[in-house]
Structure 1
């Protein structure tokens, strides 16, 4: 397999670069090493059994070893990943985390992907990967995970909301689509996701807005997608969830990289 040399590389951190066409689905799989899943362009939708993660170019996903996941390429994706031995990213521990990607970390990931798998232990590869690990440990952790339910009725609703995050349908209207009462659906939201319907929908909307900003959409379009008429109100709500402003996300996503593409 193409990925096998990366998974068995002796170095503590190695890079992996691959470009994917729009719409490609990497079906459920796992790797024996932990990963930082990143794309210098394009947006990925990563799903585990418990949650969904939208990963635009301003963020990356730390994934522990042996975790089953799938990846959908929402448009053409230039993936640049780091595969690492368990424990080298000390702050990440053993849970999925979405992290912010600084311009420095972006460049380091790309540079690591240009190094051979057996990079010199005293050379450039050592310094690049060491600094990358330090940047990863310093990165902000972002609330970009959406809990996924197991109940099939609730899953119908959640899948539809993810397709139409700006929909104004009430919980009662979604209950009709799900084939369950409004009261049952409200209970399922709290039980299966730990969030109320309104909380889950708002988070889905904000995640979609972040994705849109990262691929160049305007602040107005992102605010509308999140269900806001007012940009200041959108900005305040966005910052409360993610700890950064919509403008900062747009700036991080718009720079792009030439190295390694």
Structure 2
């Protein structure tokens, strides 16, 4: 594209061949009012027909780019690659299985911009979860524990719908599962976080690449690490105001 995009949408995928075409079309419809924009799909070591589906989706869409990891590095690694390659100053993310509705991207983008330079992240928070009873209960417990420990004011950090300033993201300490702790780490850097409810949907096709115990045990270790990072950094005045509820 000859014009620098104002929004880059990053979509991490692994073995989501059946979900590519439909989701790309939805992203296109949702982001057309935000043009110029670009979409960066990051194929995280897929072993199915995802590469072919992405090649087909690129036809006639110069704003669609594809990056590929030769082996799977995880969702946070895929997001990191997409953000690093982004040409826009504002980046949006959403999961590649269709559960995140792209129609909410303009809502989150507007919330970030209206918040001003002091806001670093607009975080989606899912309503009407479609993950199944066990997974939903697990998520609620995990979010409750995380919220009490990190006090980041976010009830659903696992929602893939996020819009944030690229330069703020690149200041965050990188680790696996970073995407699940972004609100607390954005506040740690002295920026505000705003929230918008988004409607959850069932995945289009296929099955999740993430299991119960993958999140449970590793998540506890990550939570301890993020708590330590926050304790080790003296909060800025802006972060202190956010914690007291004086800013967004």
TM-score category (smaller protein) = under 0.3
By relative contact order (CA 8 Å, sep 6+), the higher-ranking structure is 2
TM-score by length of 1: 0.26
TM-score by length of 2: 0.27
More strand per residue: 1 or 2? Answer: 1
Greater Cα radius of gyration, structure 1 or 2: 1
